[in-house]
């Protein structure tokens, strides 16, 4: 979207905002510093980077990974997979996007532009993702927040959007997501393991910590990041597998 603004296809918004969860894939952060920050500056758009750890919102447990609300005390915030007594694999509720990104972005924007200011929030879903723009969490906009989808207005597919970025002279952009994200495809896990082994094994350590804290609460043998319910260290990833699991937010995987 910033490339389209820099090329004059879209007007410049007041600011572009990026929420770093604390588990953001290092490749995304590098891309942001090397390419997005200079591009935003050239396009005359203020780039705001916000972090949950720097906001006075409610504190989480387990180093930020576990819920602290009374109804789900100690349960994981990311959507974890766990094997149930009948052998099937269950999935815990996804609360991470709301608590690590949406609330932080709303807090920072309210502080920066005023609590009662009407905000038009641009989300870069492409035409092959237009179903995401109709999901309840995006479509049910609060009264002071309205969504706009500029890539849908430009009628760009994901591939066309990426080609446009490349034609502007930038390398292929990654999809913004956490390196621990259970919604990743096997292809993405495999890439992480191959290209960033230290980050991959850090994810495996974090998974073990969540399992220690939550397995009993979820009545599970193991609480896993991978959809198979197996520990990351044991999974054989299918390289061609690009099945993205469901995430209807506009704050992850865009
Ligand atoms: S990328 Fe995944 S783990 Fe991170 S906030 Fe989004 S859904 Fe949660």
Output the DSSP codes for 46-57.
EEEEEEGGGS-S
**How far apart are the C-alpha atoms of 62 and 152, rounded to whole Å?**
39
- Model confidence at 209, pLDDT cuts 50, 70, 90, reads very high
Pocket residues for ligand 1 (CB within 6 Å)?
Answer: 21, 78, 94, 96-97, 100-101, 177-178, 180-181, 183, 247, 252
What H or E segment, with its residue span, contains residue 5?
helix 2-6
The answer to pTM > 0.85 is yes
At residue 52 the predicted structure's pLDDT band, cuts being 50, 70 and 90, is: confident
How large is the greatest C-alpha to C-alpha distance in the chain, in angstroms?
57
- The sign of the torsion formed by the CA atoms of 254, 214, 198, 243 equals negative
How many angstroms is it from 91 CA to the middle of ligand 1? Answer: 14
Q: Cα separations (Å) of 116 from 123, 142, 145, 199?
A: 21, 12, 10, 40
DSSP letter, residue 156: -
Atom 4 of ligand 1, residue of closest alpha carbon: 178
Does residue 250 carry a pLDDT above 90? no
Q: What is the mean pLDDT of the chain?
A: 88
Integer Cα distance of 105 and 87 in angstroms: 39
pLDDT in tens, 130-151: 888 876 566 555 667 788 899 9
Q: Number of H helices and number of E strands within the chain?
A: 10, 7
Sign of torsion over alpha carbons 114, 118, 121, 122: negative
For residue 223, what are the β-bridge partners? 82
């Amino acid at each position: 979207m910033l490339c389209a603004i820099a090329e004059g296809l879209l007007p410049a918004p007041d600011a572009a905002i990026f929420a770093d969860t604390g588990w953001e894939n290092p490749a995304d952060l590098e891309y942001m510093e090397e390419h997005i920050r200079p591009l935003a500056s050239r396009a005359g758009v203020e780039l705001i980077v916000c972090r949950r750890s720097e906001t006075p919102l409610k504190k989480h447990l387990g180093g930020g990974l576990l819920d602290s609300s009374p109804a789900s005390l100690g349960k994981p915030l990311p959507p974890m997979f766990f094997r149930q007594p009948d052998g099937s694999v269950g999935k815990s509720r996804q609360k991470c996007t709301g608590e690590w990104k949406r609330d932080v972005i709303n807090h920072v924007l309210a502080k920066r532009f005023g609590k009662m200011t009407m905000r038009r929030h641009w989300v870069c879903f492409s035409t092959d993702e237009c179903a995401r723009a109709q999901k309840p969490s995006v479509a049910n906009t609060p009264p002071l927040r309205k969504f706009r989808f500029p890539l849908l207005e430009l009628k760009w597919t994901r591939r066309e959007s990426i080609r446009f970025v490349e034609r502007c002279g930038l390398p292929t952009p990654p999809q913004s997501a956490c390196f621990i994200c259970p919604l990743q495809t096997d292809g993405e896990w495999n890439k992480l393991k191959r290209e960033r082994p230290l980050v991959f094994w850090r994810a495996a350590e974090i998974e073990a910590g969540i399992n220690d804290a939550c397995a009993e609460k979820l009545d599970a043998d193991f609480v896993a990041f991978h959809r198979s319910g197996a520990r990351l260290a044991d999974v054989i990833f299918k390289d061609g597998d690009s099945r993205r699991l469901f995430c209807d937010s506009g704050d992850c995987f865009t």
